[in-house]
């Protein structure tokens, strides 16, 4: 294991197919979305890392000091580590496209890697929370982003979600938002939207 690796599950895909990174929420692990990823893209390489930070025993990808209050230094560390992990595996597997799907804390690290590094051709951010103004990144032009969200989500409030969607739109990313009427839970219309979003990569 190197400093830029994670405990992870990996299933190698067919030659000439994408690589899909699936990133769990707080308290999840590398199993949370692995099978979902395989169903979405059966021929892709699927990679599911486990967060390397423990919050009272719950795995996360970066530290926080309170609900919605990020340790920005650790977010920067985690972003560099995840970007290196993604780039290394994408190269090793000669992936045609680099795809990402994250929920909650997993969506947040995925979003910040996008904001800072680009890297992902298409990304699904499920219930993300980016409680700061991201920097401009012209390299996001043309990249595909799907945000799924709950209108009454107490953890990822709707105005903050809308601000993130507006940020990606301002960077000329192809941005879609799928809402449901609930909170910080995953509902069928989100799953349907994700399936449609990844259909071109099957």
Catalytic residue among 5, 52, 71, 184: 184
pLDDT over 70 (residue 2):
no
Q: What's the pLDDT at 162?
A: 98
For residue range 114-140, what is the model confidence (pLDDT) as tens digits?
999 999 999 999 999 999 999 999 999
> Among the options 93, 127, 153, 180, which is catalytic?
153
What was the pLDDT predicted at 1? 38
Q: How far is CA 103 from the centre of its chain?
A: 7
Active site residue 29: no
At residue 109 the predicted structure's pLDDT band, cuts being 50, 70 and 90, is very high
pLDDT value at residue 68: 86
In a domain, 3, yes or no: no
Active-site residue, from 104, 127, 156, 180: 104
> Is 35 designated active site?
no
CATH number of the domain to which 192 belongs: 3.40.50.1820
Q: Could you tell me the CA-to-CA distances from 148 to 13, 44, 141, 184 in Å, in that order?
A: 26, 22, 20, 10
Q: Is residue 2 part of a domain?
A: no
How confident is the model at residue 3, as a pLDDT?
A: 61
Residue 137 resides in a domain = yes
Domain containing 139 equals: 8-201
Q: Write down the pLDDT at residue 178.
A: 98
pLDDT tens for 66-101 read 888 999 999 999 999 999 999 999 999 999 999 999
- Whether 153 sits among the annotated catalytic residues: the reply is yes
- Is the pLDDT at 43 greater than 60, yes or no? yes
Quote the CA–CA distance of 93 and 142 in Å, as a whole number. 23
Q: How many domains does the chain have?
A: 1
Burial of 140 (0-12, 13-18, 19+ CB in 10 A): buried
In a domain, 126, yes or no: yes
What percent of the chain is modeled with pLDDT above 90? 95
- In a domain, residue 1? The reply is no
Q: Can you tell me the mean pLDDT for 158-165? A: 97
Q: Say if residues 125 and 148 touch (Cβ distance below 8 Å).
A: yes
């Amino acid at each position: 294991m190197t400093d830029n690796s994670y405990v992870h599950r990996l299933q190698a895909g067919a030659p000439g197919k994408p690589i899909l990174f699936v990133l769990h929420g707080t308290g999840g692990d590398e199993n949370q979305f692995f099978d979902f990823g395989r169903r979405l893209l059966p021929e892709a390489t699927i990679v599911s890392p486990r967060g390397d930070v423990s919050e009272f025993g719950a795995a996360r990808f970066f530290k926080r000091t309170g609900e919605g209050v990020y340790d920005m230094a650790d977010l920067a560390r985690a972003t560099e580590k995840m970007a290196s992990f993604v780039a290394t595996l994408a190269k090793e597997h000669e992936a045609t496209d680099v795809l990402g799907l994250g929920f909650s804390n997993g969506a947040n690290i995925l979003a910040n890697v996008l904001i800072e590094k680009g890297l992902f051709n298409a990304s699904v951010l499920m219930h993300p929370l980016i409680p700061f103004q991201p920097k401009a990144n012209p390299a996001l032009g043309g990249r595909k982003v799907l945000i799924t969200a709950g209108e009454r989500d107490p953890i990822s409030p709707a105005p903050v979600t809308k601000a993130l969607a507006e940020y990606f739109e301002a960077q000329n990313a192809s941005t879609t938002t799928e809402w449901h009427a609930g909170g910080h839970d995953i509902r069928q219309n989100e799953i349907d939207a994700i399936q449609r979003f990844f259909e071109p990569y099957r």
